[in-house]
Structure 1
């Protein structure tokens, strides 16, 4: 694959092309083994020119990590905005995201590894992702409160608790450790226990 970038191309187009090529390389050989020189060579541009768009490899990797986590966020928000009760949505939230993350681990192991390391090292893209996921859970809880389904005094604080209770089914490293186990029944059980607590009140 050779993807030359024209010298007078629009800067936004160049950035997008750099991200695209870098992601392909990360998927094929892993982000740790991919150097900025490798990416520049694939794009037929000088490393110095590449650094004009991304000051470091981490800055570039952050963009790709944000894209990967953005796909997860899209699934989560789709669940939150779908039809059904808040209880049903919380259960779907943990089960469907568990399936999604497991699929990424199976099909895109190297991208999974990148996100896993990002979570351990607390990259900015991961911090934003965690806040987005908390926001999704809060949105569902608030919907349940407004409909009278849940009795929660502080939805924002409760969202943090609920999200934390789902970590075992969503965190990349924990997911990898239990990859060959069927965790969906347990995920459903935890979700239903959480819902029971939300219905009972603080």
Structure 2
């Protein structure tokens, strides 16, 4: 805590007024990063375009954001990896929020006749699982290290999922 306080130009006692431990600070920082991703997804979910376009934009934006975090904010990437490996509760909450956003978009698509699935919640969980390789920081890092074209694979997966949801037209 002393090094954090020093970096912020304050006393350790002052830092302890806001955070009981270094773990609490890390969880708060990780939460802010995860909320940024969910806020991006939520904003796209609210755009006035067809649900299939929302889903495409949302999945692409989340992947690109997570990939950018690896490249441009390595410390944040590493913190999120630790949080996932240690199964922090904030990770579970983030995943649940993302699935809820996906479910809302899919439900909208069902209501508008774009998607033909019966259970939006089940479809949202399936979409989350199908995009784990494009969202999970460790898997993104693996793909980049091995020179894989994640953008092409992402777009192929999006096309596949849109067909699986029963995209009309």
Residue in structure 2 matching 1:145, options 110, 114, 129: 110
Number of equivalenced pairs = 165
Q: Give the Cα–Cα distance (whole angstroms) in 2 for the partners of residues 109 and 44 of structure 1.
A: 24
Deviating 4+ runs (over 4 angstroms):
none
Aligned to 1:23: none
Q: How does 1:28-67 map to 2 (within 5 A)?
A: 36-67=1-32
Alpha-carbon spacing, 1:92–1:43, altered in 2? closer, same or farther (3 Å): closer
TM-score with structure 1 setting the length = 0.76
SS in 2 for 1:178: helix
Aligned to 1:84: 49
How much is the aligned-residue C-alpha RMSD, in angstroms? 1.6
* Structure 1 stretches lacking a partner, 5+ long: 1-35
Once the two structures are TM-superposed, the CA of residue 127 in structure 1 deviates from its matched residue by 1.4
Larger Rg: 1
Q: Give the Cα–Cα distance (whole angstroms) in 1 for the partners of residues 54 and 86 of structure 2.
A: 30
* Structure 2 stretches lacking a partner, 5+ long: none
Aligned to 2:130: 165
Q: Give the Cα–Cα distance (whole angstroms) in 2 for the partners of residues 49 and 190 of structure 1.
A: 48
Q: Deviations over 1:13-47 (max 9, x none)?
A: xxxxxxxxxxxxxxxxxxxxxxx111122344443
Once the two structures are TM-superposed, the CA of residue 96 in structure 1 deviates from its matched residue by 1.9
